[in-house]
Amino acid sequence: MIYLDYNASAPLDPRVREAMTPYLDEFFGNSRSGHAYGVRVKEAIERARGQVAALVGADPAEILFTSGGSEANNLAIKGLAWAHPRRKHLVRGALEHYSVAYACDFLARQGWRQDVVAVDGVGRLDQAAMARVVGDDTLLVCVQHANNEIGTVQDVAAIARLARAQGARVHCDAAQSVGKLPVKVDALEVDLLSLAGHKFCGPQGIGALYRRGGLGLEPLIHGAGHEDGLRSGTHSVALIVGLGEAAALAEANLAETTLKLATLRDRLFDGIRAVFPAAHLNGDPAHRLPHTLNVSFPGFDGNDLLASLPELAATTGAACHSGLREPSMALKAIGAPLEIGLGAIRLSLGRFTTEAEIDRAAKLIGEAVAVRA
């Protein structure tokens, strides 16, 4: 199969697996133990913390390890709200990941007010609308760096400046952009930033939260005080080492990776348009992830189209609820017509995608569209 579903999960880089193996076999100690086994794994954890910090331009002490992006998002949002209960207003964009949206919804049921800011037809946040809703009672503004479905990249720094002028904190879900675009916390001007290892060829089940130094959070998991008291539980050392190695590899090859992915993404779209000129690009053509292509085939059903392509691993832009198909959350948010929303598929590339696979994928899609036309 041709794997074009990197936004869902990227394959583990063999170099990451190699780095992890000693901590699955030989070095299995607890980081809280004072003997040699514990010292060895503690050193490995702190080395990985430094690698993740370098990737996002943070101090190692500002990096907290979590079980993934969803936990990092929940810790950022709930942890900040519970630690600072006097400000009772939350603001988020309409394209946020479910782990952000549902965390905000949860707090709304507990007494916080919530505003959801709309996006335009290509998925960019309405900054004027954001300025209208952020006030002196706003605790947190949540801005996704890049959308997982349509790939649109937000001007996080501009929104952060707007929010911080009102004394609000800013959280950025950067799970899809880390490792594919430059992501530096100071350039983005954020207070909190989430990432997930399996999005950039690290292991599943591990992520991290950047927390600007001195910012108070209330933990979700109480216990023996691991991770500066904010994420208790025995460290999963192999996963942490894997995240660190993935971060180091991503940082070392970022410019090359970004260029390669954007070139392959455009090659794929050109190949599709050559056989189906009516193919419609969803998202911002100028500000988008280099590895994400969300394309609609008017007159076709995306689910049926992918079902006819067993050699292609990708996802559709529509969801099925109680037997009724409807466009995805992102496509509805940008106001995509029903025909565009139902005919969408998402093709996401990654480190191991080749030109041959891209050309083969375009050919397969072209053949499937021709047969069903």
Give the residue-averaged pLDDT of 251-269: 97
What's the rounded Cα separation, in Å, for the pair 6 and 14?
A: 16
Question: pLDDT tens, 30-71?
Answer: 888 889 888 999 999 999 999 999 999 999 999 999 999 999
pTM for the predicted model, two decimal places:
0.96
What's the rounded Cα separation, in Å, for the pair 199 and 242?
A: 13
Tell me what percent of the residues of the chain surpass a pLDDT of 70. 97
Q: What is the pLDDT of residue 32?
A: 83
SS3 state at 304:
helix
Query: Pairing relation of β-strands 292-296 and 344-348?
Result: antiparallel
Task: Say whether pLDDT at 300 is over 80.
Answer: yes
What's the rounded Cα separation, in Å, for the pair 257 and 265?
A: 12
What's the rounded Cα separation, in Å, for the pair 128 and 138?
A: 16
DSSP assigned state of 197: G
Tell me what percent of the residues of the chain surpass a pLDDT of 90. 91
Active site residue 320: yes
Task: Say whether pLDDT at 320 is over 70.
Answer: no
Q: What is the pLDDT of residue 239?
A: 98
Residue from 158, 249, 168 nearest 201 by CA? 249
Question: pLDDT tens, 270-293?
Answer: 999 999 999 999 999 999 999 999
Task: Say whether pLDDT at 317 is over 70.
Answer: no
Task: Say whether pLDDT at 303 is over 60.
Answer: yes
Annotated catalytic residue: which of 104, 142, 172, 320? Answer: 320
- The single-letter code of the amino acid at 127 is Q
Give the residue-averaged pLDDT of 203-217: 97
Task: Say whether pLDDT at 155 is over 70.
Answer: yes
Domains detected in the chain: 2-8+253-372 (3.90.1150.10), 14-252 (3.40.640.10)
Query: Pairing relation of β-strands 280-282 and 312-313?
Result: unpaired
Give the residue-averaged pLDDT of 238-245: 98
What's the rounded Cα separation, in Å, for the pair 207 and 94?
A: 23
Q: How far is CA 118 from CA 161, 283, 305, 329, in A?
A: 19, 14, 30, 12
Q: What is the pLDDT of residue 321?
A: 45
Q: What is the pLDDT of residue 85?
A: 95
Question: pLDDT tens, 177-202?
Answer: 999 999 999 999 999 999 999 999 99
